[in-house]
Chain A
């Protein structure tokens, strides 16, 4: 009766191949056929100044996001690891709740907080700290704030999953052998979290590369990352060749990094909602 179970795979497989994999191949195909066959679109990676600016903006913002997210996320994961059971559960809930709010809603919330007439600037002016509103949004700062906010749960969950496997008595042993608190952390705990740090870094960086909604809303059109640049090519200038070439490049970069990561860690565990 194994035939039946093979049959059970069929609906999902057909959906995936027909409506997911095939369209992706379509993107790849368009990128080497429009406007004319060949690798002309890919040459733009090396020759077009606006393409390079978008790539550079994407790399810069993704890197900043990754560094800030990892630092803040590590602190939270560490506090969660060492907290008592109840505090740990509360912290976990506080991480998961914003995680499940859509990035659209969160970006909108950041607009209401950060814009010139927004909550933060109004409050700061109200108590007389500033006279002119601070430029917190519609620039790179706004984008990074929104993206760090979106990425923190991924980093915290990845780091925490790794830290949970570490025996805290090792730290006590190090202290017993005469290491100071800082030394015990730096020489015992920190090295043990290297897989978590690596996993979280790659994951946050990869996810940052493809961000569309957050930079589009909080960047105000001034900080053009790849995804938004691609959407512009398709919706405004109708340059399908250029748009699909960048999309393909993005996909290859993401899948390549993901594959590298999977050599080191179990990627499925990082993504599992469970």
Chain B
């Protein structure tokens, strides 16, 4: 029972703010179907020409491909390193381990522009500017915090006795890790992977600096398009990205619900 009276005006204002939040997500879909060559709502009929451009133009296609490869590989690195680190910190439980874990969220706090300058300069020295490897490594390290945070959250619900039981039953440390700990925190690992993937897939500022003249990921192509000609094909790209985000978010919410149900059952 709600003892706090809900005020109609507050509720109306809240839904107005929420509509403001959703407005941009909904406007790009109709704009992407315009029949004109400039950004506008469709007036006489709809056309899929801009969506066709997106999937036939070699520049956009190679952008999608580069973004996919970079996001997939950098996510794999971030998930492997981040999961191991979170489990190590959890098991060690010392002050130093605690500080390592705190240091891992540094990339979430430092403004990206600052890091972009630093990594650009380092990559000039290492001759990594404009290489796939360079972007993959930079995205992996900035994706680490998401994995460490989600896996740590999962571990906090795990009974340390499980690990001891596995060890006393004769499993060695790698076996315990692979067969007992990781399966138990899998939803956290998957959530982390999703966030790390979205992070890389959407990342623009670092790529602007270290992409050089060779690498044009999807966000970088969008950025150039916005600054140059505002082609309606960008609206099609934006719509595709929003749909993609929606699907991924629904998967993540599903995972979280499952995790909470299980944790609730265990408690």
Which residue numbers of A lie inside 8 Å of B, CB to CB?
1-2, 4-9, 11-13, 15-16, 19-27, 30, 72-73, 75-76, 78-80, 82-84, 91, 93-98, 100-102, 104-113, 115, 117-119, 122, 149, 152-153, 168-169, 171-172, 181, 209-210, 212-213, 217, 227, 230-231, 234, 240, 243-244, 247-248, 250-251, 254-255, 258, 268, 271-274
A168 to B4, CA, bound (A): 6
20 contacts between A and B (CB under 8 A): A9-B84, A9-B100, A11-B80, A15-B140, A15-B141, A19-B138, A25-B118, A79-B13, A104-B202, A105-B202, A108-B226, A112-B39, A152-B21, A172-B4, A212-B205, A271-B145, A272-B149, A272-B153, A273-B195, A274-B191
Instruction: Mark each residue of chain B from 84 to 128: 1 if its CB lies under 8 Å from any CB of chain A, else 0.
Output: 110111011000010010111111111111110111111000000
Counting CB contacts under 8 A, is B229 at the interface? Answer: no
Q: Are A105 and B140 in contact (CB under 8 A)?
A: no
Interface residues of A: mostly helix, strand, loop or mixed? helix
How many angstroms from the CA of A113 to the CA of B230 in the assembled complex? 13
Q: Chain B binding site: helix, strand, loop or mixed by DSSP?
A: helix
Complex contact A250–B111 (CB within 8 A): yes
Given contacts A181-B5, A273-B149, contact A75 B14 (CB under 8 A): yes
B82 A24 Cβ-Cβ under 8 A: no
- Number of B residues contacting the other chain (C-beta, 8 Å)? 100
User: A109 contacts B10, CB within 8 Å?
Assistant: no
**Is B111 within 8 A of A12, CB to CB?**
no
Most buried by A among B77, B109, B112, B246: B109
Interface residues of B in 241-267 (CB under 8 A from A): 241-242, 245-246, 248-249, 253, 256
0/1 string, B62-81, CB within 8 A of A gives 1: 00000000000000010011
C-alpha spacing A244/B119, complex, angstroms: 12
Q: Are the C-beta atoms of A26 and B121 separated by less than 8 Å?
A: yes
Task: Give every chain A residue within 8 A of B256 (Cβ-Cβ).
Answer: 274
CB of A91 within 8 A of CB of B14, answer: yes
Instruction: Assess A19 versus B114: contact at CB under 8 Å? Given A104-B223, A112-B39.
Output: no
Q: Which residues of A contact B215 (CB under 8 A)?
A: none
A102 near B114 with CB under 8 A, answer no
Shortest Cβ gap from B200 to chain A (Å) = 11
Q: A1-B173, A6-B92, A19-B141 are in contact. Are A254 and B110 (CB under 8 A)?
A: yes
Interface status of B25 (Cβ within 8 A of chain A)? yes
Q: Tell whether, in the assembled complex, residue A255 and residue B84 are in contact, meaning their CB atoms are under 8 Å apart.
A: no
What are the 7 closest A-B residue pairs judged by CB atoms, nearest first? Answer: A210-B111, A23-B118, A109-B24, A79-B14, A8-B88, A102-B202, A12-B85
- The closest CB in chain B to the CB of A217 belongs to B226
Contact partner, A271, options B21, B105, B117, B242, Cβ 8 Å? B105
Least distance between A75 CB and chain B CB atoms (Å): 5
Indicate if the CB atoms of A24 and B118 lie closer than 8 Å: yes
Any A CB within 8 A of the CB of B235: yes
